[in-house]
Every structure is written in C-alpha cells, then in structure tokens.
Structure 1
Amino acid sequence: MRVYGGGFLLNEFNQKRAPQVDGLRMRSTLIKHASLQAALQPWVQMECFQLSRGKSLGRLDSIDLDSKKVVRETQNAGVQKLGATPANLCTVSYSSFDPALRFADHDAGTADTIFFMPEKTDFDVYVPAGAQTTYVSLDQDEFLRQARILNPSVWDTLQGGVTVLRSGQKALLKDTVETCFMVAGGTAGSCPAFDMSGLRRLLHQAILHIATTTQAAAIEVPHAARVRARRICRQAHAFAEERWSLHDPPTIVELCTAAGVSERTLQYAFRTHFGLSPMTYLRLLRLNRVRDILVDASPGTTSVTAIAMDHGFLHLGRFARDYKRLFGQSPSATLGR
C-alpha cells in the first residue's frame, strides 16, 4: 500500500485559501489526478485510482479543526479509494444518493444513510462520476466515550468495520457541515461569526445527536453477496499488484485461481462492486500506475514507451488512445508538464 503525502504532489495544489477566520484552515483544491486526491488527505493511509473518463477528478474542500477534519469531495470522474484508518481516528460520512456508489460492503443505501467507520478499518470505496461524498474525522476515544454515555444499547455493542446508521439526522449533519464551509469560506452572510472552537462544538454536537438518536435496529448487516464480491475483488487486486511488480500481467485464469472462483463468479463480483469487468478494472489501474510515474518523471530521462511497456501495454496506439480517453490528455502531455 503506497502512502501519499508531501513531495511533488503538494507543490501541485491548484487551490484557493479562504480568508482566515480565527484560526480556521480551509482549502479548496482542483483534483488533477488520483494521486493528488490521496495526498490531500495525509491523515489517512490511502491510494486512489481513476476509473472513468475525465481530465480532472473533481474538487476537494477541507477544513482543519485540529482534532476534527471536514472533507467534501465532488467527483467529475469515478474513483476508487483503498486504504485504512489509523489508530484512534474514526469517520462519520454521507454521500449524495447514487446507486452505483460502494462504501466497503455497502451501497449508497437510502437518502438518509450515514456511515460510521472506526479506527484500523480497511476500506474500499467506489465513488462514481457526479457523486459527492463528505466525511468528518474524529478522535475515536473521545467520541465513543460520549456516545456510549448517551446511547449505550447501540455503541457498547458496536461491531468492527463500516456500520450503516439510519437515525434520520442526515439533514442535520449536512446542514451543519455546509454551515462550517460557509463560515470558513467567508460566505456565511447572516450566519453567526463562529470561531474555530465554536464550529468544532457545533459539529461535535450534531454528530453526538446522531449517536443519541441511532436505534439498534437501524444498524444494517452487510449483505452476504456484497461482502463476498468485495473480498473477491480485493484478492484479485492484490494478486494483480504482485504480478505487475514482477512485470508479468496476470491472465483471467490466474485471477480466478488466486481468488478461488470461476470466471463467471469473478465477473459477477466485479460487476457488483464496480460495474466493470475484471480486465477493464485492472487495465484502468495500470493506466493510473503509468500516470503516477509520468507525473513525477523528468521528460529528459523518461520514455513514455518504456513506461507503458513496463506496465504491460504492448499495443502503444491503443494505450495512448485509452490514456487520453481516461485522463483527458496524452501520455506525452502528462510527461511534459
């Protein structure tokens, strides 16, 4: 798992900083490529891959409230996010409703769905083009201590992994987050002039209200078929990564063998989780790998052809066509930036 952050990516931020409001730190950034989307969130171990067409992935807005981070991502192109939450960091998140969205073993749920993801949780998120996702990261020890006082029947027995909460309070959380962005961005108008501690309290109370109103019956158990589909996709992904490191792209037979399933089951798993065939998905991942290298490379010392062939693209005309279709520019244009 590659951990992004710092270096050349952080020098590429095409961002506008809002006026400082008593210590508030807001950033709004055009996401030029998937690696940058990961680098913008260094508090989480994450890797991103672009899976649909688009010259840019979208925009990421974030507010740093010290122990809390508020992040809103608007996707112009589909993206997969793979990673793990660190110790003592949990997130509460929601998204615009899109039936193609996948959050670990869950889909977008309903218009009221809120997701809770605890510390040390592996995640696999697919966000389609046109969708928007928002999350708040929290100090888990502090949050769970208070949530268990307010609603022990739910939070004392919470299991690991991503949990779906349906407390009917998504609108409250969304309105509170939008208020935070309006204040931090200096567009609050008649809204109260909160300082950073005031916004932190406002956000914390909204999230605790969700914890209070969540009912035990509202916690959804992931559907077995979706859980299995995600597991198969992760196994195939890991095997493909290992083979690519040896410059030996896997065949469909080898992917089925590694995942221990038939071709039909493998196809079903990828269609269920991503809406793509296995080979299309893996080809998109290889294109993302090539772009990562070209973005960071020097034109004088790097050959597009060599990098493409090193990643299993032997038909260079088709490679160049697919690359431009996905990223909105030619490989040589990426290298020559």
Structure 2
Amino acid sequence: MTTCNPLQVQAFNTADVAEQIRATPGWVQHYQQMSPGHFAGRIRYLDLQGVEVYEEQMNTRVEQNFSAPSGALAFCFDRSDNALYLLNEESRNIWITPENYQEIAVVFGPEFVRRNGLDVARLEGLFMAPLNGAQNALFSRWLSSTLTKLSQAPDQPSKETLTQQLLEDCLFILDNARVCLDNDGLQRRTQERQTMKRVGEWAADSPEETLNLLELAQVAGVSLRQLQQTFKAYTGLSPTQWLRLRRLNSARRELLNRSSHETTVAEVAMNWSFWHLGRFSNSYRTLFNELPSETLKRACR
C-alpha cells in the first residue's frame, strides 16, 4: 500500500516589496511601491510538482515589472477586474496594481507544457491582454477557497486529480474568454502594452538610471503626448509622477543597503536628484510611512 504526500499550502506574510519578490522564486520581477503607507503583502503557494498555484495580496499600489519562468505558461486571474492575463517568458511587461490588490495564478511548468502538448505559439497576441469571461471570477474564488481547504482539511484530492482539473479549467476559461475579445480595444491595449513594454525593459535593465520626460518618450518610441496618454490609461499616473516615485524607491533601496557609516540621507537624496532635503524627507515619509533617517538606522541593525 502506498501513501501519498499531503498537499501543503505555504503562506508568507511580507513587510516590504523585496520580501514579496523573494516569496515567488523563479519569476523575473522588479517591484516598486507606488502609494503611501507601510507595505503589507501575503503569498500563498502550492507546489503540485510541475504545476504551481500562487495567490498574492498587497495593500499598496505596486509597480510590477515581470516575466514568467522560462518555458512556463501562466494563467493569472486579477481579482480587481476579474480579467485573465496569459503570461510566458516573452511577455515581459510593466503595470501598476490598484491598492488592496489580489491575484491568483496557475503556472504550468516547462516540462508539463511539453508533456501535455500545449502550443504556446498559437496563443500569440493573447499574452498580457485582458481576457474577460463569466467564469473568471467564479474560478478565482473557487481556487482561493481550495487553497484554504487544503491548508485545513485532511481529506484532500491527489496531485494528479487537482493538476488535471486545473489544466482543463484554465483551457476552458481561455477558450470562452477569447470569444469575448473586443478587437478594437485589444488593438489599442496592445499598442499601449508595447509602449509600456519598452519603458519596462528600460526600467528593468537600467534600474539605477534616471531620465527626464523627453528622454523617456524617446525610450518608449512615441511622442510626449502619446506617452502621457498611455501612462494615464495604463497606470493611472502621469509619466512625471512615475519617474518621481521610481526615484524615491531607488533611494529607499540605497538606504536599506548602506549604513550610516557609509552614507548620509543627504547624499542618497542627491544621488537621486532630490536637491531639497526637506521636501525629499516629506515625500519619502508620505510614501513609505517612515523618515529616510529611520530607514537608514533600521538598515544598520
């Protein structure tokens, strides 16, 4: 008689965007906090050996620059708009979550994708497009409750049974969501996504580089007006706001990685083009709910 290993749901509470990234290994990710307050996040994770389920929650707005693990196919259900987003390693993108964001994702690993004959090439044009369907909200609620039940109940399905159900459900939901596509809206969204992809690639490849607004438009390959319209539609922020928040996040990372023996708040502020120390401190405290001097002291412990 063989015994099966129980399904174990791991849970992690996080207090910083960097901790949130570390709780989801295998993804290429860069997070930045984009709204005020102490960050509080939570990750629940289920490993089905070839298929993984992630549930992510974050209280503040967060800029996510990410791509899925190499060879994987990810079905990400955004519970803020009940849309399905399809990702692979090529769908590297940038977007900003709303506050109190919740997402649940099913990630089919590369070996599982090959073994089950999932033709990723046929999905071209669907990656990172908002795919809406009546089943999205129902499925994401069911999957979240399943994680809760698995962490509590001794009576559990086998890994094979649950894995097969996840595959069948995700493919069924994808087929139904494709029927609901708004082609005009999808084309506009695709153009916005391409613009933000170029911005995101620059931000990920040059995290410590600063640009002005005209230089950012050149990076994006669009006019300044198009850049402003895209940012408003895609992130709810102006490019100027985004650049400023990005510099504040970079200053925070430097403060966390240095000691008071190595640097000062003033030096860090000027490194990131904040020339008025009082305004920098106020902006920093508004965003992160602590003074930069407090961050620097905390980093020394």
Instruction: For residue 223 of structure 1, give the secondary structure of its aligned residue in structure 2.
Output: helix
Residue 144 of structure 1: how far off its partner (Å): 6.5
Structure 1 position 313 matched with structure 2 position 274: yes
Q: Which amino acid aligns with 2:122?
A: T
Task: Check 1:156–1:272 CA distance in 2 against 1; reply closer, same or farther (3 A cut).
Answer: closer
CA contact (8 A) 2:129 2:190 kept: no
Q: Which moved more, 1:51-60 or 1:118-127?
A: 118-127
Q: Deviations over 1:180-220 (max 9, x none)?
A: 23322x2x4xxx6227xx25532431331331462453456
Residue 27 of structure 1: how far off its partner (Å): 3.2
Equivalent of 1:40, from 5, 18, 23? Answer: 23
Equivalent of 1:208, from 162, 168, 176? Answer: 168
Q: Which consecutive residues of structure 1, in runs of 5 or more, have no partner in the other structure? A: 1-20, 98-107
| 1:102-181 matches, cutoff 5 A | 108=81, 111=82, 113-143=83-113, 146=116, 157-159=122-124, 161-162=127-128, 164-166=130-132, 168-170=134-136, 171-181=138-148
Q: Deviations over 1:242-277 (max 9, x none)?
A: 88756xx43323333443433322211111111111
Instruction: For residue 336 of structure 1, give the secondary structure of its aligned residue in structure 2.
Output: helix
Q: Which amino acid aligns with 1:137?
A: V
Task: Check 1:173–1:205 CA distance in 2 against 1; reply closer, same or farther (3 A cut).
Answer: farther
Query: For the residues of structure 2 that align with 1:212 and 1:89, how far apart are their CA atoms?
Result: 19
Q: Which amino acid aligns with 1:47?
A: H
Structure 2 partner of 1:6: none
CA contact (8 A) 2:75 2:170 kept: no
Instruction: For residue 274 of structure 2, give the secondary structure of its aligned residue in structure 1.
Output: coil
Query: For the residues of structure 2 that align with 1:165 and 1:207, how far apart are their CA atoms?
Result: 17
Query: For the residues of structure 2 that align with 1:124 and 1:90, how far apart are their CA atoms?
Result: 18
| 1:36-75 matches, cutoff 5 A | 36-75=19-58
Instruction: For residue 123 of structure 2, give the secondary structure of its aligned residue in structure 1.
Output: coil
Instruction: For residue 52 of structure 1, give the secondary structure of its aligned residue in structure 2.
Output: coil
Equivalent of 2:191, from 210, 217, 228? Answer: 228
Task: Check 1:330–1:183 CA distance in 2 against 1; reply closer, same or farther (3 A cut).
Answer: same
Query: For the residues of structure 2 that align with 1:272 and 1:32, how far apart are their CA atoms?
Result: 29
Q: Which amino acid aligns with 2:272?
A: H
Query: For the residues of structure 2 that align with 1:73 and 1:158, how far apart are their CA atoms?
Result: 25
Q: Which amino acid aligns with 1:321?
A: N
Runs of 4+ residues over 6 Å off in structure 1: 240-244
Instruction: For residue 86 of structure 1, give the secondary structure of its aligned residue in structure 2.
Output: coil
Q: Which moved more, 1:24-33 or 1:218-227?
A: 218-227
Task: Check 1:116–1:260 CA distance in 2 against 1; reply closer, same or farther (3 A cut).
Answer: closer
Query: For the residues of structure 1 that align with 2:287 and 2:179, how far apart are their CA atoms?
Result: 42
Query: For the residues of structure 2 that align with 1:225 and 1:72, how far apart are their CA atoms?
Result: 29
How does the TM-score come out when normalised to structure 1?
0.74
Q: Which consecutive residues of structure 2, in runs of 5 or more, have no partner in the other structure? A: none
Q: Which amino acid aligns with 2:128?
A: V
Residue 69 of structure 1: how far off its partner (Å): 2.3
Q: Deviations over 1:227-253 (max 9, x none)?
A: 33333344445567888756xx43323
Structure 2 partner of 1:286: 247
Higher helix share: 2
Q: Deviations over 1:262-293 (max 9, x none)?
A: 33222111111111111110111111111122
Q: Which amino acid aligns with 2:188?
A: A
Instruction: For residue 71 of structure 1, give the secondary structure of its aligned residue in structure 2.
Output: strand
Structure 2 partner of 1:325: 286
Total equivalences in the alignment: 290
Task: Check 1:204–1:165 CA distance in 2 against 1; reply closer, same or farther (3 A cut).
Answer: farther
Query: For the residues of structure 1 that align with 2:278 and 2:23, how far apart are their CA atoms?
Result: 33
How does the TM-score come out when normalised to structure 2?
0.82
Equivalent of 1:250, from 211, 215, 219? Answer: 211
CA RMSD in angstroms, aligned pairs only:
3.1
Query: For the residues of structure 2 that align with 1:157 and 1:236, how far apart are their CA atoms?
Result: 26
Structure 2 partner of 1:266: 227
Residue 159 of structure 1: how far off its partner (Å): 1.6
CA contact (8 A) 2:208 2:250 kept: no
Task: Check 1:245–1:168 CA distance in 2 against 1; reply closer, same or farther (3 A cut).
Answer: closer
